[in-house]
Structure 1
Amino acid sequence: MDSRLDSAEATVDVLSFNIHHGEGTDGVLDLERIARVIRRSGAEIVGLQEVDRHFDGRSQWNDQVAELARSLGYHLAYGANIDLEPAAPAAPRCQYGTAVLSRHPITRARNTHLFRSPGEEQRGLLHVEIDLGGIPLQVFVTHLELFSEIDRIRQSEEVVELIGGTGPAILLGDFNAAPGTSEITRLRTVFTDSWTVLDGGPVATFPADAPRDCIDYVFAGRGVTPVRVGLVTEEPVASDHLPVLARLVVSG
């Protein structure tokens, strides 16, 4: 739905979606399928994880966030957490990271790398400011470490410190951590986990074809209240994660 501004208050639908570089559980690379999921969700702001930008042959060397933005007619911001030399002279750099797509104007963007132990993948926190009908909404997107709990705990602490008392703010991402873990418990001390508004609590988001773990979240910071949350399941084969859709009330 479109955001409605009333006395410096807006309602907005947001989506967190790990797109697995556009490859579905059927092994097919289909970025238009990802765009279709986003379009049908009605989300006005989308936080994406595992997004390739001229990265390698698995995504046909394409700029995935630019393609999605063109298909949807959305503004974009990108945070490169892996940034490699071009594959050929004069070619674009090979990048992999997170992104924001927004129906509303993006006024600024910055990506900050998070703690990384030797041998682990570089992770980051993408910070985007969006003009939500006159309200400056701070949108943060992250994708925490998969294999190292120590890294995830350090990274979640960094996320808390980097966002601080910023508001109104939302935090979207694949946290590779289930409810009740130290990482999610720490985040819940300063943010409202949208899953807590759902009767019955969190729902499994991964793997998409037979979900057993809840590792994808929409967190609400200061000035934001979640009123609805759920999964988008119309095309569960589009990625290995199911996207999380939340309706939020934002106060300016």
Structure 2
Amino acid sequence: MKVSVMTFNIHHGRGTDRRLDLNRIAEMIRKSNADLIGLNEVDRFFSKRSMYRDQISWLAEQLQMEYAFSPSITLKSKNSETARQYGNALLSKFKILKNKSTHIHSSSKFREGRSILETVIEIDSQPLQVLVTHISFNPSSRRKQIQHILKFVELNPLPTVVMGDWNMNPGSKSWRTVAKIMHDVWNISGEDRGFTYPSYRPRKRLDYLFISEDIKVIDTEVVDFMPEASDHLPVLAKLELSTL
């Protein structure tokens, strides 16, 4: 079974030209033809910066996909019952069987919370575990967050994809810790350096797709046809799942 998976930090829809335009994000996803899309920096009724829009439900409606959301920040207002949220999300062409949001370690010195979205997707009657996260740039917090993720992966036997903005460099200590347990798809089939940030003239690889050893990589690419849509470029991988 073949499936296309993409990870994309959308910067709440605000592009490098400072325009808020979710239509560009939707167009990039649509043209990529990805089946599963992990998103970082997604707003739900969060603030004026994104016009208080529920971004993930809007994208899901436009693209006719199922979705799940994991808030990393939740703020409540005295004047509204609607929580203001910001975090990670998943869009799926396949049925989402399960989804759970878990907060993971974040240093009190930094305002931004961190979470992991844990989902199980049904593809041709077979389950695939898909995790979406956005790891801290703080080394101490990042180390603890990675430990949490890897422990979860090791305790779960399903074929697994973990994707998101990891705020780490390939070959770094953090990367090596993950690579002992999972495979970095870019190292298997990517060309050049796979830089994703900043979207114009990228010079860092911050966005990753990691897979368990029971998944095969066919092809991997950085999607760069519309760099103005966000400050990150998405990474797209075509995977092959073993049949039971």
TM-score if structure 2 supplies the norm length?
0.95
Which runs of 5 or more residues in structure 2 are unaligned?
none
Show the 5 A alignment for 1:6-21.
10-21=1-12
Aligned to 1:190: 181
Matched, 1:117 2:102: no
Matched, 1:35 2:35: no
Matched, 1:84 2:78: no
Q: Deviations over 1:14-71 (max 9, x none)?
A: 0000000000111000001100000000000000000000000000000000000000
Show the 5 A alignment for 1:45-124.
45-86=36-77, 88-90=79-81, 92-120=82-110, 121-124=112-115
| Distance of 1:170 and 1:197 partners within structure 2 | 15
Aligned to 1:7: none
Look up the SS of the partner of 1:93 in the other structure. strand
Q: Alignment length, in residue pairs?
A: 241
| Distance of 1:81 and 1:217 partners within structure 2 | 19
How many angstroms does 1:224 deviate by?
1.2
Q: Aligned AA for 2:141?
A: D
Look up the SS of the partner of 2:80 in the other structure. coil
How many angstroms does 1:201 deviate by?
5.5
Q: 1:233 aligns with which of 224, 229, 236?
A: 224
CA, structure 1 residues 199+106, in 2 after alignment: closer, same or farther (shift >3 Å)? closer
| Distance of 2:190 and 2:29 partners within structure 1 | 24
How many angstroms does 1:76 deviate by?
0.4
Which runs of 5 or more residues in structure 1 are unaligned?
1-9
Computed over aligned residues only, the root mean square deviation of the Cα atoms, in angstroms, reads 1.3
Look up the SS of the partner of 2:77 in the other structure. coil
Identity of aligned residues (%): 37
Look up the SS of the partner of 1:70 in the other structure. helix
Deviates more, 1:63-72 or 1:156-165: 156-165
| Distance of 2:109 and 2:78 partners within structure 1 | 23
How many angstroms does 1:111 deviate by?
1.0
How many angstroms does 1:198 deviate by?
2.9
How many angstroms does 1:154 deviate by?
1.4
- Give the ranges of 4+ consecutive aligned residues of structure 1 lying more than 4 Å apart after TM superposition: none
Contact 2:8 2:40 in 1 (8 A): yes
Aligned to 1:6: none
TM-score if structure 1 supplies the norm length?
0.92
Look up the SS of the partner of 1:26 in the other structure. coil
| Distance of 1:244 and 1:199 partners within structure 2 | 10
CA, structure 1 residues 201+152, in 2 after alignment: closer, same or farther (shift >3 Å)? farther
| Distance of 2:190 and 2:77 partners within structure 1 | 48
Contact 2:190 2:220 in 1 (8 A): no
Q: Aligned AA for 2:62?
A: S
Aligned to 2:215: 224
